[in-house]
Amino acid sequence: MPKYEYDHVHLLSTNAEDASNYYQEMFGATVIAKRQLGERVNITLDIGGSKIMILNNPDAAKPKESSVGVSNNIHHFAIGTDDLDAAVEELKAKGAKFEGEIRQVLPNYREIRLIAPDNVPIELFERK
């Protein structure tokens, strides 16, 4: 059986530069690659060892019909932290927009949702 490993999530953005700056400011992401693809830019970020690619696409905000390779059906992606309360406080001070409050999902798992540029849903969680 072949081996598999997670590599990246690829987001479409109406402004890849702004989206990249958001992840850098909010989560300490670092830019590991930036490529010009014709009139579009593709930026690859590292957040704690996981990659996020952001492709500039002026049509990203428009609803799309599902097709091979493109879907609007992302529920969320998750970023973990070792101190959820401190992370929420820090991110709110930086202007992050949250949905609701921290909630206890399991005895050892708490989460809160925030919305990144282009309405990308992020689950910020703490597992103890």
Domain boundaries along the sequence of the chain: 1-60, 75-128
Instruction: Round to whole Å and give the CA distance between 86 and 98.
Output: 14
Residue with the bigger pLDDT between 33 and 70: it is 33
Is 1-60 in CATH node 3.30.420.40? no
CA dihedral 119, 89, 78, 55 (to 10 degrees): 40
Residue with the bigger pLDDT between 64 and 19: it is 19
Instruction: Round to whole Å and give the CA distance between 77 and 23.
Output: 13
Same CATH fold, 75-128 and 1-60? yes
pLDDT at residue number 37: 82
pLDDT at residue number 67: 46
Kindly indicate the confidence band of residue 68, based on its pLDDT and cuts at 50, 70 and 90: very low
CATH assignment of 75-128, among 3.30.420.40, 3.10.180.10, 3.90.650.10, 3.40.50.300:
3.10.180.10
CB neighbour list of residue 103: distance below 8 Å, 6 or more residues apart: 110, 111, 112
- Residue pair 127/84 in contact by the 8 Å Cβ criterion: no
Kindly indicate the confidence band of residue 40, based on its pLDDT and cuts at 50, 70 and 90: confident
Kindly indicate the confidence band of residue 64, based on its pLDDT and cuts at 50, 70 and 90: low
